[in-house]
Amino acid sequence: MQVKDSRVLLQDQERILRRAIEHLGLGDDVYEALRHPERVIQVKIPVRMSDGRVKVFIGWRSQHNSALGPYKGGIRFHPAVTMEEVEALSMMMTWKNALADLPYGGGKGGVRVDPHALSPSELEQLSRGYIRMLYKYIGPDTDIPAPDVYTNPQIMAWMFDEYYRITGENQFAMITGKPKQLGGLEARIIATGFGTAVAAREVAKKLWGGLEGKTVAVQGYGNAGYYAAKFLHEMGAIIVAVSDSRGGIYSSKGLNPDEVKKVKNMKGSVIFYEKAEKRITNEELLELDVDILVPAAIEDVITSENMERIKARMIVEAANGPVTPEADVYLSTKKGVVIVPDILANAGGVIMSHIEWMNNRIGGYISEEEAKRRLEEKMSHNTRRVWDFWHSEMDPSKHTMRDAAYALAVKKVVEAMRLRGQL
């Protein structure tokens, strides 16, 4: 898959913020107060590699806004991470958390590394090193990291333990997405994809009366993509195509997401699933004539380059930033495509993180079923709320569903900043 230019993501976020500020009738001062993170920390992490040499990795933590509470957002380990990308993603977390009514600001972290090229011991050193460099700036009331692209519960466990070694405190609430033995919830793994499926179901009810029999294509078969496909399938939709970085598969009769996942786990890619009708490219998948398209991989896959060839009726953003602002406006207002924006559609992860954090703070217990039920309730409520605001306070032929979500989120943050005397 192509590596995007991460400055574009930051510029896109600035453009979306500007549109929201204009809709809300707010001034340039508010835009200036919100476009930059409150703090960005760069760290250098030395790792003793298996061959004895020391290799240095660069990482960041961007703390965008804390008006509503401690910064919250994941840490990604990816070879293409840049400071600008982390800044843009931290800004998105501010809006995502505000829109979901969570008591959090927005933050994001990243380390420029290919984690697949590291041994388990190298990965552990890197994870611990990240916390050693940042422990003064994070904590249960300050900034609460979580998993993101290519980070997982084991990495959260090492980070949690490193925090304990430095501070002497078993602060479970300092990080979320932990393994269940360390205060995490198993439901955190399914949360993003399940939440995306619930958001799609609520919008499908408004558009078509439900999901039953609707065709779906999912781009990306990592955590978010696989679970979105699995739950959409369980809800009655037909998954006609899925893909990963090596390519995609298509079957008009529908694919079984679990069977495809087994093949990917065994052989490394969905393309080796033999019961599919044919193989397709990622580009072809995006342009399929389906009811619902779920981009669940990376940023900037639907752009001014391919927007005219997109045929889906609904796009649900499981990834962060897969549709550029230009394509968002074109597809929504010219072609009548409903685009369920990332800050709404993929909020399931951080909503589940909040349940985990609350539970850790009170030293409580919550069952997996109860956690999943709460997530479903919040996702469907939030989706209906954005839909209703879009239709009652805006003109859906001129404004996108993203405009509605951002207007609600930015308004909430601005009000909190005013009350605190920050604006």
Interaction between residue 148 and ligand GLU (CB under 6 A): yes
Interaction between residue 178 and ligand GLU (CB under 6 A): no
> Distance between CA atoms of 220 and 261, rounded to whole angstroms?
12
3-state class percentages of the chain: helix first, strand second, coil last, to nearest 5: 50, 15, 30
Extract long-range pairs of 251-257: CB within 8 Å, 24+ residues apart.
251/275, 251/276, 251/277, 252/277, 253/277, 255/229, 257/226, 257/229, 257/230, 257/233
Residue nearer to ligand GLU on the CB measure, 83 or 350: 350
- Is 311 annotated in the active site? no
- For 164, list phi and psi in degrees, rounded to 5: -65, -45
Interaction between residue 349 and ligand GLU (CB under 6 A): yes
Stretch binding ligand GLU (CB under 6 A), from 255-263, 267-275, 299-307, 348-356? 348-356
Interaction between residue 350 and ligand GLU (CB under 6 A): yes
Closest CB 29 distance from ligand GLU, rounded Å: 29
Interaction between residue 59 and ligand GLU (CB under 6 A): no
Stretch binding ligand GLU (CB under 6 A), from 61-69, 206-214, 330-338, 346-354? 346-354
Interaction between residue 353 and ligand GLU (CB under 6 A): yes
Interaction between residue 73 and ligand GLU (CB under 6 A): yes
Q: What angle do CA 384, 389, 394 make, to 5 degrees?
A: 140
Stretch binding ligand GLU (CB under 6 A), from 5-13, 42-50, 71-79, 267-275? 71-79
Mark out the alpha helices in 168-308 (DSSP H runs): 187-208, 223-234, 257-267, 282-286
Closest CB 56 distance from ligand GLU, rounded Å: 25
> Distance between CA atoms of 128 and 157, rounded to whole angstroms?
10
Closest CB 351 distance from ligand GLU, rounded Å: 8
Direct distance between the N- and C-terminal alpha carbons of the chain, in angstroms, rounded to an integer: 42
Task: Tell me which residues in 297-326 interact with ligand GLU (CB under 6 A).
Answer: 320
Mark out the alpha helices in 254-298 (DSSP H runs): 257-267, 282-286
Which residue in 72, 178, 402, 412 binds ligand GLU (CB under 6 A)? 72
Element (H, E) at 171: none
Stretch binding ligand GLU (CB under 6 A), from 67-75, 206-214, 290-298, 407-415? 67-75
Asked if 321 and 88 touch (Cβ cutoff 8 Å), the reply is: yes
Which residue in 6, 176, 282, 383 binds ligand GLU (CB under 6 A)? 176
Closest CB 228 distance from ligand GLU, rounded Å: 14
Interaction between residue 146 and ligand GLU (CB under 6 A): yes
> Distance between CA atoms of 329 and 95, rounded to whole angstroms?
19
> Distance between CA atoms of 57 and 129, rounded to whole angstroms?
10
Closest CB 342 distance from ligand GLU, rounded Å: 8
Interaction between residue 291 and ligand GLU (CB under 6 A): no
> Distance between CA atoms of 159 and 109, rounded to whole angstroms?
13
Interaction between residue 74 and ligand GLU (CB under 6 A): yes
> Distance between CA atoms of 316 and 105, rounded to whole angstroms?
24
Q: Catalytic residue among 108, 230, 378, 412, which?
A: 108
Residue nearer to ligand GLU on the CB measure, 191 or 200: 191
Strands 338-340, 247-250: pairing kind: unpaired
Nearest position to ligand GLU, beta carbon: 74
> Which parts of this chain interact with ligand GLU (CB under 6 A)?
72-74, 96, 146, 148, 176-177, 320, 346, 349-350, 353
- The residues annotated as belonging to the active site are 108
